[in-house]
Amino acid sequence: MLINGFDLLNAPVMSLQTGGELARTTKAIINPHNLTIIAYELAGPQLDHHPSFLRINDIREVSPVGIIVDSSEEFVLLDDIINQKDIYELHFTLEHKVVLDENRKKVGKVTSYNFEAGAFVIQQLTIQRPLLKSFNDSELIIHRSQILEVTDHAIVIKAKNVAKIVPDTAKSYVNPFRQSPQAEAMRIDQE
């Protein structure tokens, strides 16, 4: 099941032990090297330390009421997640990130992303098209397999499908209702 990443921003983090809200998510910590969510930064009056983090491995379930964890003992400090501290300090975010095709032409900006519920691996990016290109399609959904490169300033994807006209000799046939054979051009979309 795919979940919209922005649905879990400002989401309540609920305790399985008490049934109450412990904190709220403020930001997803995303690893730009493999586009996975590794933790959530938390805020709330009941937290002992600011900032506190919830590692993805400590999430028991994502439900309509929010993120469910065993207890507040699951919350950690930045120094407790040493291997993820470098990623946090990158301050990487997908929101409003520019998307370019492999020819370095602007495709649009990221407005949302969807991830796998169990693995927290980002599967799709929703791209808002620039004004002049939005007349044909206002949004695009880009699958992770189309992403070539992620940099600090942009996400580079494979060039958009290109329509190609097949030469006239590709499909010639005799139409019994016409006097002479007619060559016909076809349009084929390549991926």
* Domain ranges, ordered by start, for the chain: 2-89
Q: Count CB-CB contacts under 10 A for residue 183.
A: 11
Q: What fold does the segment set 2-89 form as a domain?
A: Photosynthetic Reaction Center; Chain H, domain 2 (3.90.50)
pLDDT of residue 184: 45
Per-residue pLDDT, 78: 81
> What is the chain's mean pLDDT, rounded?
81
Token pair for 38: 């590794």
**Chain-centroid distance, C-alpha 154:** 13
Q: If pLDDT is split at 50, 70 and 90, which confidence band does 137 have?
A: low
Joined together, the tokens standing for residue 43 give 């805020």
Task: State yes or no: pLDDT of 104 exceeds 50.
Answer: yes
Residue 187 — pLDDT band, cuts 50, 70, 90? very low
Instruction: In whole angstroms, give the CA distance from residue 155 to residue 30.
Output: 14
Q: Do the Cβ atoms of 144 and 155 come closer than 8 Å?
A: no
pLDDT for position 164 = 32
User: How many Cβ atoms are within 10 Å of 28's Cβ, its own excluded?
Assistant: 23
Mean pLDDT on 4-33: 92
More confident residue, 172 or 17: 17
Least confident of 89-93, 152-156, 161-165: 161-165
Higher pLDDT, 144 or 159: 144
Q: How far apart are the first and last CA of the chain?
A: 25
Q: How far apart are CA 85 and CA 29, in angstroms?
A: 10
* Share of residues in the chain with pLDDT > 70 (%): 79
Q: pLDDT by residue (tens digit) across 43-76?
A: 998 888 888 999 999 999 998 899 999 998 999 9
